[in-house]
Chain A
Amino acid sequence: MLPVLLAVAMAAASPALAASASDIAALKAKIAALSAEADRINDANDIKKLQRAYGYYLDKGFWDEAADLFAADATLEVGVDGVYVGNAHIRARLIADGGGNPGPGLPYGQYNHHMQLQPEVDVAADGRTAKGRWREIALLGHFHQDAEWGTGIYENDYVKQNGVWKIAKMHFFPNFVAPYEGGWAKLTPVSGDWKSATGKALPADRPPTVTYQPFPDNFTPPYHYKNPVTGQ
């Protein structure tokens, strides 16, 4: 970069450069290209905000606010429960996951902390869509009743509609929900249909697109990106 800056400094210092119409057109094009680059970085920031805001809404039982982050025809897929289609069904699923209380808010004693971590966000060159991988670490439970650890991976699609980024597809791959007492190391393999209680009570619109076994099996949710160095 240094030689470039030097060159520009020289160009700037030299009084010799008369700006022709084509010079101006070229600089205009360069500024437009740089502006688009800045917009893509800003898009990535907006998408991180969107996903992090989702976590903060879940934390405190703001189900409507969380559901509003999805596009109208968005999908939400959880584990092997299947695919929930559309904003209204997603909203119902989020409320059911939170224990059925419509909120906003949580009952006394409920803990529902869902941290959204380790983003790997890639915005399409045209700035209209994006993909993101995230890790969730959750602290869950009810005072004097139960306490759990939860963890899983998100592979999400985002779409920009009328200048606003929305969640187009959320795919959460839970890896485990483990009792605090004893922790994850004491978990035993699931057998048969391991649909969640919520998934059974509130059936999805479509079957799961991916079936897998959670921890203590080792399943890798597919990466949306190629290896950042080898490109493979």
Chain B
Amino acid sequence: MPMIISSRRAVAAVALAFGCIFASGALAAKPDSDREFAELQALASHAEHDLTVLKSHDAIENLQAAYGYYIDKGHWDEAAALFTDDATYEYGQQGVYVGRDHIRKALGLFGPDGLKQGQLNDYPMLQPIIDVAPDNMTAKARWRSDSFLADGGKGEIGEGEYENEYVNDHGTWKISKLHFYETFFADYDLGWGAGPIPMSGPSAALPPDRPPSEVYQSLPSVYTPAYHYGNPVTTVTPSFEAHVSGPAGLPADLAALQTNANTLAHKVELLKDHAQIEKLQRAYGYYVDKAQWPDISQLFAENGTYEIGGRGVFIGPKRVLEYLVVGLGPIGMSTREGVVINHQQFQGIVDVAPDGKTAKGRWTAFVMGGGPHAAGWGDCYYENTYIKENGVWKARSIRGPFNMYAPYKGGWKDSATPNTRPDSFPPPPDLPPTTAYLTYPSFYATPFHYPNPVTGKAAPPPNPAAGGVAPMSAYIGK
């Protein structure tokens, strides 16, 4: 009776029903081969499970991106169709709407179908941390939106975070809970330093089904929506790559199968590594937002290094923590009234080494910062390295060269903040800056860790004739 592997349930049924019958003859003939075959089956099933979860991760990334693109343009029917029948929807302090039909109406509070002339409703879906449950039936994700709004000639700028839930409905992922937590909205001309707008409460015209599930206030108050995930270094379950090494002298067909199975397992492991490193870096950004310095220091490997702007290099988690607490401010400083340090991690390019032990990543951090009445923009890159220690990915080096820092008022036209230096504030670093450079309006391009993805060649150095470095006096004090 041949085994049909393609139907796994059939395998189980056959194993249960006929196991004892087969036990005597077949096993005695080829015990090593049988054990090997069973291990390869198990390995393939693990890979299948991991791939199912990875595919769900990507499907949810697309689902939420699609939601954002619909919201941009006032396509409420399309957006509402992404929810389950009994989903919940909660925006700021407007209360909870239950069920797809009511959600559809609640989305209409943004404006008419297709929006009005002159209405801008951009809610980009950014910095996702997506966690699919092991049974592949539910998932949770954190996202953020930098909102660019306009109506009737008045502009607003805002930012907020989502903690959403999803369900797998017979192979189609849907949103079962969407919860947008408003960090701030501000009059565009004033910015968040001077003009945060209080959150609106429940709509009188379309009352929600339930009051807000959490009561909080936006800027100048500060609120941290609970993370659905633990610290990606201290709470992660170590992953060890599955690998089958069978006995010598296997039949050729089984030996070939073993090679294929191991190749598959390694491929899948690299995909999981990629996703875990993205999570690590994005979690880092959310921690900076709220000055959760101990969580940040825990992301580093034992001798991990940290270098931000021109401040020099700090080595090891203890010195990282000292830099953050002494240099930037006390733990939780950004939860003080009126303080924003949105340190948003976008556009990650993560390259895992073929052996799966180290990785590199380039990111762009889009910064909305400042205390009361001192708002500003920032743009810095990250060029980081990561290392897998005992099955857990950690930061080996986080290096954030600055591109541009400028005040909100006037933006990057009128003035720019020069790069920091080791002596610009305590504590002193362990090593001097790895590179001396000037930020915007001067030109500096931190080297790319990857060759050109198409040509495979490293980018040439910048042409000095193209730019050049101006003396600091060109922009200090302006």
Residues on A lying within 8 angstroms of B by beta carbon are: 1-24, 26-32, 34-35, 37-39, 41-42, 44-46, 49-50, 52-53, 55-57, 59-62, 65, 68-69, 101-111, 113, 115-122, 133, 135, 137, 139, 141, 143-147, 149, 151, 153, 164-166, 180-186, 189, 215-218, 220, 223, 225, 227-230
Contacts and interface: CB of A to CB of B under 8 A. Distances in A.
Contacts of A55: 347, 364
A16 B239 CA distance: 30
Contact of B174 (A41, A133, A229): A229
B463 A16 contact: no
A102 B146 CA distance: 33
A26 B6 contact: yes
A134 to B, nearest CB: 9
Give the interface size class of chain B.
Answer: 35 or more
B454 A68 contact: yes
Interface string B61-98: 11101101100011100100110000000000000000
A31 B262 CA distance: 10
B463 A103 contact: yes
A38 B264 contact: yes
A151 B122 contact: yes
Contact of B260 (A35, A59, A109): A35
A44 B413 contact: no
A225 B61 CA distance: 14
Interface string B424-468: 000000000000000011110100101011110001111110111
A182 B411 CA distance: 11
Interface in B46-64: 46-49, 51-52, 54-55, 58-59, 61-63
B383 to A, nearest CB: 10
B448 A56 contact: yes
Contact of A106 (B188, B268, B467): B467
B155 A183 contact: yes
Given A18-B34, A184-B155, A2 B62 contact: no
A39 B263 CA distance: 12
Given A111-B412, A229-B81, 7 more contacts: A2-B135, A8-B41, A41-B55, A104-B461, A104-B462, A141-B412, A215-B150
B41 to A, nearest CB: 6
A118 to B, nearest CB: 5
A10 B413 contact: no
B271 interface: yes
B150 A184 contact: yes
Given A69-B454, A120-B69, A12 B16 contact: no
A68 B453 CA distance: 9
B81 A230 contact: yes
A139 B379 contact: yes
B21 A16 contact: yes
A216 B154 CA distance: 12
Contacts of B467: 61, 105-108, 110
Interface of B: 2-6, 8-9, 11-12, 15-16, 18-23, 25-27, 29-31, 33-35, 37-42, 44-49, 51-52, 54-55, 58-59, 61-63, 65-66, 68-69, 73-75, 78, 81-82, 114-120, 122, 124-126, 134-136, 146, 148, 150-151, 153-155, 157, 172-174, 188-189, 253-254, 256-257, 260-261, 263-264, 267-268, 270-271, 274, 346-349, 351, 362, 364, 366, 377, 379, 403-404, 410-414, 416, 440-443, 445, 448, 450, 452-455, 459-464, 466-470, 474-475, 478
Contact of A133 (B22, B48, B65, B136): B65
Contacts of B44: 27, 30-31, 34
Q: Which 7 A-B pairs have CB atoms at the shortest separation, nearest pair first?
A: A18-B26, A105-B466, A185-B155, A7-B12, A147-B413, A105-B462, A19-B37
A148 to B, nearest CB: 9
A62 B450 CA distance: 14
A44 B351 CA distance: 13
Contacts of B49: 1, 4-5
A94 to B, nearest CB: 14
B441 A143 contact: yes
Contacts of A183: 150, 155, 157, 188-189
A108 B270 CA distance: 41
A217 B54 CA distance: 39
A228 B62 contact: yes
Contacts of A137: 124, 146, 366
A31 B58 contact: no
Nearest to B73: A220
30 contacts: A1-B135, A2-B135, A3-B9, A8-B42, A9-B42, A12-B42, A14-B38, A15-B35, A16-B19, A17-B11, A18-B26, A18-B27, A19-B33, A22-B2, A23-B3, A27-B257, A30-B44, A52-B349, A68-B452, A102-B463, A108-B467, A120-B66, A120-B69, A133-B69, A135-B69, A137-B366, A143-B416, A183-B189, A223-B69, A229-B63
